[in-house]
């Protein structure tokens, strides 16, 4: 998700998620250094990862060990909003790849292992057999990936769009204490 420039007409690293209604699956395309990697997520797998992103606290850009879990969550929400606002979702995915290491059809992901290394979230996507692919997402890219995943899942009618308040923030559920 880098900006195109005169010396670099196509972004070097891009991630694209799209829904294929015939297959009822999500296609993840990742482009890097002239190579395009493709992986398919089933509805079951996508729903599990979507739920994990909403229930698990991942490292934020400005994580600090002295913060309480609620403070970390709020910090993450603020960072996510800023990252999504700054992300370039309008530039079409432009792969000039001549190399498809996982084949032009890609892999059907059977399992995803999620690891955190420093502040990066590593999504290790594995097929039933053979080579898989890993997305290494720093917080800003992770937030953009989560946003794209939600958008594609809403378009697929797998999840409902989250209500948004007048300031553009998702509404917080009312909690009784």
Query: Which tens digit of pLDDT belongs to each residue from 102-114?
Result: 999 999 999 999 9
Would you tell me how many other CB atoms lie within 10 Å of the CB of residue 104?
8
Q: Can you give the pTM of this predicted structure?
A: 0.71
Query: Which tens digit of pLDDT belongs to each residue from 15-37?
Result: 899 999 999 999 999 988 888 99
Mean pLDDT of 1-15: 43
Radius of gyration in angstroms for the set of CA atoms belonging to the chain, rounded to a whole number? 17
User: Which of the given ranges, 54-63, 68-77, 83-92, 164-173, has the highest pLDDT on average?
Assistant: 54-63
The average confidence (pLDDT) of the chain is 76
Domain boundaries, the chain: 13-155
């Amino acid at each position: 998700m880098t900006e195109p420039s005169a010396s670099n007409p196509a972004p070097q690293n891009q991630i694209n998620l799209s829904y294929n209604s015939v297959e009822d699956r999500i296609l993840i395309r990742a482009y890097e250094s002239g190579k395009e990697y493709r992986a398919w997520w089933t509805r079951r797998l996508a729903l599990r990862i979507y739920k994990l992103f909403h229930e698990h606290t991942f490292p934020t850009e400005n994580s600090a060990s002295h913060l309480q879990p609620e403070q970390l969550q709020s910090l993450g929400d603020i960072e996510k909003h800023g990252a999504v606002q700054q992300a370039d979702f309008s530039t079409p995915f432009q792969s000039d790849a001549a190399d498809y290491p996982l084949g032009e059809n890609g892999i059907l992901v059977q399992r995803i292992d999620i690891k955190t290394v420093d502040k990066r979230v590593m999504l290790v996507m594995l097929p039933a057999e053979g080579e898989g692919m890993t997305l290494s997402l720093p917080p800003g890219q992770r937030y953009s990936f989560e946003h794209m995943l939600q958008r594609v899942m809403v378009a697929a009618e797998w999840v409902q769009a989250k209500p948004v308040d007048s300031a553009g923030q998702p509404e917080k559920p009312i909690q009784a204490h």
